A and B are shown apart, each in its own frame.
Chain A
Amino acid sequence: MLNIPAAVGLLAPMSEGEGDGGYAPPTISEFFPAQVIGEATFWGLTRIDLIALLMTGAVCLFFISAFRKPSLIPGKLQNVGEMALDVVYDNVIDEVMGVKGRKYAPLLMTLFWLILAFNVTGILPMMHIAVTSVVGVPIVFAIASYIAFNYAGIKEHGVGQYFKLNLFPAGVPKPIYLLVTPIEFISTFLLRPVTLTIRLLANMMSGHLLLVLFFGATSYFLFESSGLIQLVAIPSYLMGLIFVFFEIIVTLLQAYIFTLLTAVYIDGALSHEH
């Protein structure tokens, strides 16, 4: 039942556009792979779904085994686990929210490490696609972030006061609210989740397309062309390699930015002066 070549992505870039022998650049269909388990059922899983499950399991397993029996003098694994948490504490939570942000640590830790794990699959051998480059994944993270900052704000101020702080900034002449309030509504309650989703999605999609483009071109020049043109495979391969390193940075940066913005939004929702 499990289609193994499809599951490890062997068919992915080469399967379409062939036949005329020309170079087939990657298309958006990269992000809509066929189901490899339970084809044509409602629970059918694509290879990206399998990677998502695998990475979720890996992150859970790591943190559970690191903190299963926590001790005052940490063992090796607990030490690494604590370092993993400190990355988020030091760079996001304390930096943006101060001590009051520690309450939101579980959410922010989960966001950072899960997004990072889902991004990094874009450059891991055998996987070669970021789970976050499928739109449903960043949407779920953005919804979690959206619920979190609105919940934080409503809990802190109460529903009426929270919306009043956000939609009717103090010190504005009443008629001007007609102009101001729609803008504040759109920018706070609609643009935020949309930009969170698009920023992560577009970064991971374009990264994947760039890598497929360069390595696909390398393979084409090397194996399907002849003469001097074969040499073009060298710069093409080098560009691919450069973009792999670039993707490592993007992977980290996007996980960081998503978590940071969530912290900023929560902090803004808690703040008393808007």
Chain B
Amino acid sequence: MHPALEPEGEHVAHSAIGSLVGGVLVWGGVGILLDHWLGTGRALTALGVVVGFLTGFFIVYVRFGRDE
């Protein structure tokens, strides 16, 4: 017999990693572009990485952390 297993664990891990990495890449990337454009050194890159990381965490919390 093949039971219909609840697959949540696997799923959560991969989505969570995607959002965390994606967050840093997207907003860190935007930071790099803005730094180049505005000539602000590394300031906006740093800000972007932090904002992206926090937003990634927030997404993981919203998607998977709430009802538990």
CB proximity of A179 to chain B, nearest CB, Å = 5
Q: Chain B residue with minimal CB distance to A94?
A: B2
Say yes or no: A187 contacts B10, CB within 8 Å: no
Say yes or no: A184 contacts B22, CB within 8 Å: yes
Count: A-B pairs, CB below 8 Å: 79
Say yes or no: B55 contacts A171, CB within 8 Å: no
Say yes or no: A187 contacts B18, CB within 8 Å: yes
B46, CB-defined interface residue at 8 Å = no
Say yes or no: B26 contacts A98, CB within 8 Å: no
Q: Chain B residue with minimal CB distance to A98?
A: B4
B7, CB-defined interface residue at 8 Å = yes
CB proximity of A83 to chain B, nearest CB, Å = 15
Q: Which residues on A sit within 8 Å (CB–CB) of B27? A: 179, 182-183
Q: Which residues on B sit within 8 Å (CB–CB) of A192? A: 18
B40, CB-defined interface residue at 8 Å = no
Q: Which of A94-127 contact B (CB under 8 A)?
A: 94-100
Q: Which residues on B sit within 8 Å (CB–CB) of A97? A: 7
Interface of A is mostly: helix
Known: A169-B63, A274-B63. A183 touches B22 (CB 8 A): yes
A188, CB-defined interface residue at 8 Å = yes
Q: Which residues on A sit within 8 Å (CB–CB) of B4? A: 98-100
CB proximity of B8 to chain A, nearest CB, Å = 9
Known: A94-B2, A169-B63. A191 touches B7 (CB 8 A): no
Q: Report how far A264 CA is from B17 CA in the complex, Å.
A: 13
Say yes or no: B18 contacts A169, CB within 8 Å: no
Which 10 pairs between the two chains have the least Cβ-Cβ distance?
A187-B22, A98-B4, A187-B18, A94-B2, A183-B22, A179-B55, A99-B4, A186-B22, A183-B23, A96-B7
11 contacts between A and B (CB under 8 A): A94-B2, A94-B3, A95-B10, A98-B2, A98-B6, A98-B7, A170-B62, A187-B23, A191-B21, A265-B14, A274-B63
Apart from A99-B4, A171-B62, A187-B23, what 5 extra A-B contacts exist at CB < 8 Å? A94-B2, A98-B2, A183-B22, A186-B26, A187-B18
